[in-house]
Amino acid sequence: MFAVIKTGGKQYRVAANDLLKIEKVEGQVGDIVEIGHVLAHGEGENVTFGAPFVDGALVTAEVVEQGKNRTVIAFKKRRRQNSRRKIGHRQLLTTVRIAEILLDGAKPTKKAAAKTEAKAEVAAKTEAKAEAAPKKEAKAETAPKKDAEAKATETAAPLFKAPKGEPDDLTVIKGIGPVAAGQLNEQGITTFAQIAKLSDKDIAKIDEHMPFSADQITDWREQAKELAKK
């Protein structure tokens, strides 16, 4: 059996399982769409024509793909008028597969099944994404927490272990003010003797982690040696 349908301002002769491209119709891949404008239908030499459409006739089709046609360029030029116009158009197309040709008001049999399957697939994909999302978020949250904890641990640990006893007034050393003295105390440097015993490796460590240069610290070490003797 064949039918002649009208859609998108064009006419098509179709039969079951035919694959054709028509101007865009709303629907997702897997949906069953109905084309009610049936101009004629028949089988062999027996053909029934509508006026203009056949009453009770219906064609259903499954959406296979939503796409676009090739770009068509319309160029218009007016001679000696310095007028040119170039317009491009790309028609939206839907690829469909003819499912059924129904007559006398018969209802489609594939409509409910196709939509149910499509909805089931969409629901399954949505659930899978929803399950995967919390795991990704959990991983994303865990990584920053670990980094923050590691940084906090590094920041909290002083560079040196403060010696027992009363701390010295480090501001006596030229170049060390109250702010610098406080920073040194926070890193476990509290006495003249401790500064006097700093090795070159210790000085490099302070230079790397604190806002003091190696030359400054070396000068403080020489001053601390004299102060530690008193």
Examine residue 137 and state whether it is found in any structural domain, yes or no. Answer: no
State the average pLDDT over residues 130-140: 58
Q: What is the pLDDT of residue 149?
A: 56
Q: Are 95 and 105 in contact (CB under 8 A)?
A: no
Q: What is the pLDDT of residue 125?
A: 65
Q: Which of 89, 104, 119 is the last residue of a domain?
A: 104
State the average pLDDT over residues 128-140: 60
Q: Are 39 and 49 in contact (CB under 8 A)?
A: yes
State the average pLDDT over residues 100-121: 68
87 and 177 share one domain: no
Q: What is the CATH number of the domain that holds 189?
A: 1.10.150
State the average pLDDT over residues 199-223: 89
Q: What is the pLDDT of residue 22?
A: 93
Examine residue 49 and state whether it is found in any structural domain, yes or no. Answer: yes
12 and 95 share one domain: yes
Examine residue 132 and state whether it is found in any structural domain, yes or no. Answer: no
Domain hosting 192: range is 170-229
Examine residue 158 and state whether it is found in any structural domain, yes or no. Answer: no
Q: Are 21 and 93 in contact (CB under 8 A)?
A: yes
Q: What is the pLDDT of residue 116?
A: 46
Residue 199 banded pLDDT, cuts 50, 70, 90: very high
Q: What is the pLDDT of residue 49?
A: 92
Q: Which of 104, 131, 148 is the last residue of a domain?
A: 104
Mean of pLDDT over the chain: 83
17 and 96 share one domain: yes
Q: Model confidence over 60-91: pLDDT tens digits?
A: 999 999 999 889 999 888 888 888 888 889 99
Examine residue 83 and state whether it is found in any structural domain, yes or no. Answer: yes
Examine residue 177 and state whether it is found in any structural domain, yes or no. Answer: yes
Examine residue 201 and state whether it is found in any structural domain, yes or no. Answer: yes
Q: Which of 104, 136, 160 is the last residue of a domain?
A: 104
9 and 87 share one domain: yes
Q: Model confidence over 161-186: pLDDT tens digits?
A: 888 888 999 998 988 988 888 999 99
Residues in the chain: 230
Give the global pTM. 0.44
13 and 100 share one domain: yes
Q: Are 19 and 64 in contact (CB under 8 A)?
A: yes
Higher pLDDT, 160 or 151: 160
90 and 174 share one domain: no
Q: How many domains does the chain have?
A: 2
Examine residue 57 and state whether it is found in any structural domain, yes or no. Answer: yes
99 and 192 share one domain: no
